[in-house]
Chain A
Amino acid sequence: MKFFARARDLTGCDTVTWTVPPATCVEPLRRRLATEFPAIAVIASHLFVAINGDYASDETIVRDGDEVAFFPPVSGG
């Protein structure tokens, strides 16, 4: 999993690897995020999630080897 911008600052790392049961979707990852990194709890529900570079939802199933990215609303331009 990758974190960017303020999400990275609040977790204190840019990449972590988690092992999860088969057929796990994004939603429990988001909950575990707030547990393992309490500082990010305040924005955890507002983070966008992308899997392998495409926007995903909390219902999207995560597969072995997927790159899951959590990040706050974008502000390019």
Chain B
Amino acid sequence: MIQLTHDPIDTQALTESVRSPQAGAVVLFLGTVREFTAGRQTVALDYEAYSAMAVRKMEELVEQARTQWPIEKAAIVHRLGRMELGDVSVAVAVSTPHRHQAFDAGRFLIDQLKIVVPIWKKENWADGTTEWVHPGSPGIAIPGVLLSGEQP
């Protein structure tokens, strides 16, 4: 299942959707809204997408992953709109025969999603200002701020 939604992500249903008698491992990754980024306090994030392209790119990522790992089932759901601290913004679930395949495939999917899928987040800082997160783009107060301390 590949989906964009404005509703809270049902992570239990997503996990169940990739379970399979042929799989010995299920990995679920959740991306959640973090309060502090490089010392600045966030109160909420707003996400938007180029929806048609985003869905296609996510489908392509799953196809690419299938060429590298023996994936039984894979699912990616990204939520759009306003999210508060701790909310789940993205969920990736994958099942494979063995655990290392599921970890590796799941990591590939979320890492590539953050590079190629046209979705953007806007920080709503605690001081009342807002700021699009566009890593490496000029004119941003703190370039690539969300990438500090984490892999792209």
Residues on A lying within 8 angstroms of B by beta carbon are: 2, 4-6, 9, 42-43, 46, 48, 50, 53-55, 69, 71-77
Contact = CB atoms under 8 A, between A and B. Distances in A.
Given A6-B137, A46-B136, A74 B116 contact: yes
Contacts of B25: none
A76 B113 contact: yes
11 contacts: A2-B50, A4-B48, A6-B134, A9-B132, A43-B137, A46-B137, A46-B138, A53-B52, A71-B118, A77-B89, A77-B119
Nearest to A50: B53
Interface of B: 31, 47-50, 52-54, 56, 78, 89-90, 110, 113-122, 132-139, 146
Which has the most chain A C-beta neighbours within 10 Å: B115, B132, B135?
B132
Which has the most chain A C-beta neighbours within 10 Å: B118, B122, B146?
B118
The 4 closest A-B pairs by CB, nearest first: A76-B119, A72-B134, A5-B120, A53-B53
Contact of A76 (B90, B136, B137): B90
A41 to B, nearest CB: 10
A48 B115 CA distance: 12
Contacts of A5: 48, 120, 122, 132, 134
